[in-house]
A and B are shown apart, each in its own frame.
Chain A
Amino acid sequence: LAKTTQPISMDSYEGQEVNITCSHNNIATNDYITWYQQFPSQGPRFIIQGYKTKVTNEVASLFIPADRKSSTLSLPRVSLSDTAVYYCLVGDLYGNNRLAFGKGNQVVVIP
Chain B
Amino acid sequence: DTEVTQTPKHLVMGMTNKKSLKCEQHMGHRAMYWYKQKAKKPPELMFVYSYEKLSINESVPSRFSPECPNSSLLNLHLHALQPEDSALYLCASSPIRGGTGELFFGEGSRLTVL
Q: Which residues of A contact B (CB under 8 A)?
A: 32, 34, 36, 41-46, 49, 87, 93-94, 97-104
Contact = CB atoms under 8 A, between A and B. Distances in A.
- Interface extent on B, as a size class? 20 to 34
B103 A44 contact: yes
Contact of A43 (B48, B55, B92, B96): B92
Nearest to A102: B42
Contact of A44 (B31, B43, B97): B43
Given A43-B92, A87-B42, A100-B45, A93 B105 contact: no
A46 to B, nearest CB: 4
Secondary structure dominating the interface of A:
loop
A46 B48 contact: no
B105 A94 contact: no
A43 B42 contact: no
B44 to A, nearest CB: 8
Contacts of B45: 98-100
7 contacts: A42-B107, A42-B108, A43-B106, A44-B105, A45-B105, A46-B100, A97-B48
A1 to B, nearest CB: 11
